[in-house]
Structure 1
Amino acid sequence: MKVLHAALMKHAYSGILNQMTWEKQVAIKQNLDWDVVLYVNQCESKFLPSDIIHVWDGSHRTVDSICSWISIRRDYYKWLLEQSYKYDLLLVRHSFVDPFQSLFLKQVKVPVYLVHHTLEVPEIKLMSKGLKSILKTNMESFFGKISINNAQGVIAVTNEIFEYENNRVGQKFKNKIIYPNGISYNDVNLVDNRADSVPELLFVASYFNPWHGLDLLLNDLKNTSEKFILHIVGNLSQADKLIAQQDSRIVLHGHLPSSEIQRLVSQCWIGLSSFALFRQDMQEACTLKVREYLKNGLPVYSGHKDIFPQDFNYYKVGKPDFESILEYARNVRDVERNRISESAMPYIEKELLLKCLYSTLEHIVV
């Protein structure tokens, strides 16, 4: 079975690029007939060399944003339609608010599975306001439903997302396919520099969006006088920054290179994940940051479900209050890093996840 996994992105975001690069590396290692392409605008990808990136060659033709939006989609789906004749199956990352995708799905002759990473309409409502939000919401509701209806099936990173997409088309799909985000274990470097007295906590994001719930965590500072250090890595809103700067237990690092984040990981007792997915009408997620924590032997305290079973001791779901967070940090303080990393591997290692997906698709695709 020859497969192409393709995604159209304006920016070659590092997380998405890593996911798709690891996927291609696994396919080569496992001798799978599986290609991966990230189709991006030339100006966004020129500093990100990668053999999976297909650079759109039309960015020089127009500078108008609306024309560019139309042109890149027209060219992407034309290219994808041409490529489809070489494959038995296409996996296409769902494109938001995209009438061109729905037209493509009516034309293509091979089976196409749409890959979904979020609840699209709730995310649009959170990230945009006013008339723009209404327009994009209505377009996604209409064209997104057409796209899903014309797809062979849906692949989602969580059970919640699959159920949401399937509900959009009246529970049309009987085969539930879950393909969580994964991480490469090729470069595991477990270093343990934890202190024995004061708990150190780590919260990492590129930018702390509303669904991260950093504001909820900071609001709980007033409820505890316990000693700890909370390392916050990434950019904050001005409101969150003002609160954080008033508490000596908070250390704001801004953006850091991976080597510096690794140094913090070695010092910390646990990592923190999002606490406000409810702002996107979500209860589940499988973020790359959680996988990076666990791979490096760092237990996780989070406000949302992930793909881990309830008896997995190194991923704790709880509220954004420091009393519960510090209790969990002390409970897992003495667990060795390698034990945590190895225990998480069956749930987050990219090679295992892709092998499972390929096997599933082989059995159900006709």
Structure 2
Amino acid sequence: MRIAYLIEVNPYKNSGIVKKINDQIEFWVQQGHDVEPFILWPKLKKGDKNYFVRGRLYSNEILNKLPDNFIKTYLTKIFTLPKIEKDLSQFSPDVLYIRQNIWYPGLTSVLSKYNTILEVNTVDTIEINHYSKFKKMVYNFGREKVLNSSKGIISVSPDILKHYEQYTHLLKKVVSNGINLSKINKIKKDENLDRVNFVFVGSNSMKWHGIDRIIELAKKFNEYFFNIVGYNKSDFKEVPNNMKFYGWVEKEELIEIYSKNHFGLGSFSNYLVGKKIDSTLKVREYLAYGLPVLLGHIDVDFKDCEFVFKITDDDGSFIDREEIKEYVEKNKNLIIDNKHLKIIDSSVKEKERLSFFELFLTK
């Protein structure tokens, strides 16, 4: 099978999304498929590292000189797409895979030529309300065009997929997020730690992460310590003394941080984007490193297990303090074995995805 992957993700930041895409492509290739990634993103500073392991970068030399912002990225997509369209035609894919993103002129004419499958990671009609009025206007203008130019949808959660039931022309499937367990070694907890440590990892400026709720949690449990990666202390007005903010860190430092924590923290405000059930990448990474997880939503793959604990009620409020404390003290030295995580291994998830792709070979 020839699979084209149109990637509109920042390649210069080693994010969870970049890691996920690399694992997807690696597995597809291992299974004998011909995979061609087309990476559409403006070049940033000279010498910046491209973290995608495969694929050609497409950008515009003139636009690369503009300041980094939404307009630069958007114009790069418009003026670079014709080159991608030509190369796509030469590759002639059986399937064109793309993460759902903003519409731009020329995109739908490309998508409609192929068996285009959208990967949907959010309830877009809700999440878009958290962005600028201009971006929201453009997104809403082109949303239907993108959906009507596609043939299928893969969603990471049933809560997301139910928002697309009216698009009867689309084949639909839920494939929750996975992680390549073979690439990650378990992190032993530091026995010299004088108190229980929690870690949250995320990208800045996403309200649904619920950092304000984690601050609230830290105030409830001043006997514990909370490490926040991806955000800066200056982003918040009042921060208790039992919190530390690291900003963005590279992989080596992140692993060091993981090694000094007992639990990972998931998102606590996913309800803001319509997701009471989700399968976030951060939760899978915590588990892969051996950390049990506390979160504020139901996980698709771990609805009832000892190492993923939902500490909010149906209204989003924290459950009783003593119930949380009892769980923490009982499980603070727990290290999650991979035998319990096979369901989220990327090999399992990508087999499901490829099986869905195969449905389009006769179309």
Using structure 2 for the length normalisation, give the TM-score: 0.83
Give the match's secondary structure for 1:38. strand
For residues 152-202 of structure 1, the C-alpha deviation after alignment (integer angstroms, 9 at most, x for no partner) is 1112222222222x14xx241564322333222233222322548732211
| Alignment-derived partner of residue 318 in structure 1 | 311
CA distance change for structure 1 residues 306 and 73 in 2, over 3 Å: closer, same or farther? farther
Specify the alignment match of 2:56 in structure 1: 54
Letter matched to residue 161 of structure 1: I
CA contact (8 A) 2:159 2:274 kept: no
Which of 234, 245, 248 aligns to 1:238? It is: 234
- CA pair 45-342 structure 1, distance change in 2 beyond 3 A: farther
Q: 1:71–1:223: structure 2 CA closer, same or farther, 3 Å change rule?
A: closer
Kindly report which structure 2 residues correspond to 1:76-95, keeping only aligned pairs within 5 A, or say none. Answer: 76=81, 78-80=83-85, 82-84=87-89, 86-95=92-101
Equivalent-residue separation in structure 1 for 2:203 and 2:258 (angstroms): 16
Identity of aligned residues (%): 20
Aligned with 1:273 (options 263, 266, 273) = 266
Task: Show the counterpart of 1:37.
Answer: 38
CA–CA distance in structure 2, aligned partners of residues 69 and 336 of structure 1: 44
Checking the alignment, whether the CA contact within 8 Å between 2:98 and 2:117 is kept in structure 1 is yes
- The 5 A counterparts of 1:152-301 are 152-164=151-163, 166-167=164-165, 170-173=166-169, 175-195=171-191, 198-207=195-204, 209-224=206-221, 227-236=223-232, 238=234, 240=236, 242-244=237-239, 246-247=240-241, 249-301=242-294
CA distance in 2, matches of 1:179, 1:44: 35
In structure 2, the residue corresponding to 1:243 is in which secondary structure? Answer: coil
Is 1:142 the counterpart of 2:138? The answer is no
Report if the CA contact (8 A) 1:301-1:316 is conserved.
yes
**How far is 1:274 from its partner?**
0.8
Match of 2:299 in 1: 306
> Going by fraction, where is helix more abundant, 1 or 2?
1
CA contact (8 A) 2:9 2:18 kept: no
Which secondary structure state, in structure 2, belongs to the residue aligned with residue 118 of structure 1?
Answer: coil
- RMSD (CA atoms): 2.9
Q: Which consecutive residues of structure 2, in runs of 5 or more, have no partner in the other structure?
A: none
Taking structure 1 as the reference length, what is the TM-score of the superposition?
0.83
Is contact 1:202-1:270 (8 Å) kept? yes
2: CA distance between counterparts of 1:162 and 1:127?
Answer: 22
Give 1:71 shift.
4.8
Q: Which 4+ runs in 1 deviate beyond 6 A?
A: none
With over 3 angstroms needed to count, the CA separation of the structure-2 counterparts of 1:62 and 1:176, relative to structure 1, is closer
Cα offset, 1:346, TM superposition:
1.9
1:324 Cα offset (Å): 4.5
Deviations 1:87-130 (A, max 9, x none): 11111222214343223334x1x3111222222232221122xx
Instruction: Give the aligned length.
Output: 349
Mapped to 2, the partners of 1:126 and 1:87 lie a distance apart of 35
Task: Name 1:335's counterpart in structure 2.
Answer: 334
Unaligned runs of 5+ in 1: none
SS of equivalent to 1:42:
coil
Residue 261 and residue 136 in structure 1: after superposition, are their counterparts in 2 closer, same or farther (change >3 A)?
Answer: closer
* Structure 2 residue matching 1:59: 3-state secondary structure: coil
2:161 counterpart letter in structure 1: F
Alpha-carbon offset, residue 237 of structure 1: 5.7
Separation in 1 of the partners of 2:73 and 2:98?
Answer: 21
Name the stretch that deviates more: 114-123 or 173-182: 173-182
| CA distance in 1 between partners of 2:266 and 2:73 (Å) | 35
Instruction: List per-residue Cα deviations over 1:121-156 (Å, max 9, x = no partner).
Output: 32221122xxxx1x4334323311121122111122
Query: Which has the larger displacement, 56-65 or 268-277?
Result: 56-65
CA distance in 1 between counterparts of 2:284 and 2:109 reads 36
Letter in 1 for 2:198: L
Matches of 1:194 and 1:250, distance apart in 2 = 18
Q: 1:69 aligns with which of 41, 57, 74?
A: 74
> Which one-letter code corresponds to 1:318 in the other structure?
I
| Change over 3 Å in CA distance of 1:352–1:35 after alignment to 2 | farther
CA distance in 2, matches of 1:98, 1:45: 27
Q: Is the contact between residue 207 and residue 234 of structure 1 (CA under 8 Å) also seen in structure 2?
A: yes
